[in-house]
Amino acid sequence: MNAVITSPSERQLVLVAGRAHPELAEAVAKGLDIDLVPTTAYTFANGELYVRFGESVRGTDCFVLQSHAAPINEAIMEQLIMVDALKRASARSITVIMPCYGYARQDKKHAGREPISARLMADLFQTAGAERIMSVDLHTAQIQGFFNGPVDHLWAMPMLAQYVRSRVDTGNLTIVSPDAGRVRLADQWSDHMGAPLAIIHKRRDPSVPNQVKVHELVGEVEGRVCVLVDDMIDTGGTIVQAAEALFENGAKDVIVAATHGLLSGPAVSRLRDSKISEVIITDTLPIDDEKRFDKLTVLSIAPLIARAVKEVFDDGSVTSLFNGNV
């Protein structure tokens, strides 16, 4: 394979990647039928990062792929440094690909004297030299407005829904939002699957981070297979409590479908030990062996990212990837 794709106008596409998720980077490169640009990256003893590209990127259209995986601040900083290096190396254009947008949950102020960190993220990448951002299933759509340039918002739902459809009888399916904030996502799933919608109302305990208390269920789930949908699974508390509420209300089975598998802290044990029959996620973030369990299914997001990159490079339509699907 070559390290670049050349368009009829002689523009060249190159893909560079950080160290956070090499498997995804290789899969995207394979989908584009190119090689990753050779990159030297390492961490100094004091924690500072160093990046250098092994070949010229002058005049090329560069796509910089980095998953914002733990340690998240190191992954973000490495991607910022990569963007700066490309800018100083005279890249023609720079598109940042962050499959999972770091700090996306800090998209608004819930109380006084709080930051809006998701906006700060956009500002940092724009200052570094990024001209475009590509991400998958942003926590909230408003994040698209934080960046002063094009934002390609990719959707994993069609892929996840196709997998669910292959596994269950859609005639006995109910799509469930685990909280009010995910109703819009669940509604899209409901339309796509032709299935009824249910909503779980919850209230967080502000004194205890990552703890939620489920209150009531709106919708019919008795005797039905329920698909709990969310954009991410962090500690698993919300999802497991929601599943318990569904079983208490007579659900026949519960499947979980989410895009980003953070799987922090007790998430694996909570999900593994629950009555949930299957947890379906994508590989926007690396899933280490210790985070894998029998109920977990991981779908590859690489084909979607590769197709989107090709559309952007060819001045095509990223929206066309989802026409009729969302």
- Please tell me the distance from the alpha carbon of residue 177 to that of residue 180, in angstroms, as a whole number: 7
Instruction: Provide the pLDDT for residue 215.
Output: 66
Instruction: Catalogue all structural domains in the chain, each as residue range(s) with its CATH number.
Output: 5-155+303-321 (3.40.50.2020), 157-300 (3.40.50.2020)
Q: Are 141 and 194 in contact (CB under 8 A)?
A: no
- Please tell me the distance from the alpha carbon of residue 301 to that of residue 156, in angstroms, as a whole number: 7
Distance of CA 321 to the CA centre of its chain: 17
**Structure tokens belonging to residue 257:** 């479908």
Q: Among all chains, which residue has been given the structure tokens 């596409």?
A: 13
Instruction: Provide the pLDDT for residue 58.
Output: 97
Q: Are 238 and 230 in contact (CB under 8 A)?
A: yes
Instruction: Provide the pLDDT for residue 323.
Output: 75
The residue type found at 142 is Q
Phi/psi of residue 30, nearest 5 degrees: -65, -40
Q: Look at residues 211, 239, 236 and name the one whose alpha carbon lies nearest to residue 291.
A: 236
Instruction: Provide the pLDDT for residue 211.
Output: 61
**Structure tokens belonging to residue 35:** 């090689």
- Please tell me the distance from the alpha carbon of residue 222 to that of residue 249, in angstroms, as a whole number: 6
Per-residue pLDDT of the chain (326 residues; tens, 9 = 90+): 666 666 556 899 999 999 999 999 999 999 999 999 999 999 999 999 999 999 999 999 999 999 999 999 999 999 999 999 999 999 999 999 999 999 999 999 999 999 999 999 999 999 999 999 999 999 999 999 999 999 999 999 999 999 999 999 999 999 999 988 899 999 999 999 999 999 998 766 666 666 656 568 999 999 999 999 999 999 999 999 999 999 999 999 999 999 999 999 999 999 999 999 999 999 999 999 999 999 999 999 999 999 999 999 999 999 989 875 54
- Please tell me the distance from the alpha carbon of residue 317 to that of residue 217, in angstroms, as a whole number: 39
Q: Is 153 helix (H, G, I), strand (E, B) or coil?
A: strand
Q: Look at residues 190, 163, 192, 178 and name the one whose alpha carbon lies nearest to residue 246.
A: 178
DSSP states of 161-186 as a string? HHHHHHHS-GGGEEEEESSGGGHHHH
For the annotated catalytic residues, the residue numbers are: 202
Q: Are 125 and 156 in contact (CB under 8 A)?
A: no
- Please tell me the distance from the alpha carbon of residue 99 to that of residue 94, in angstroms, as a whole number: 16
Q: Are 106 and 122 in contact (CB under 8 A)?
A: no
Instruction: Provide the pLDDT for residue 204.
Output: 61
Instruction: Provide the pLDDT for residue 181.
Output: 84
Q: Look at residues 244, 274, 238 and name the one whose alpha carbon lies nearest to residue 258.
A: 238
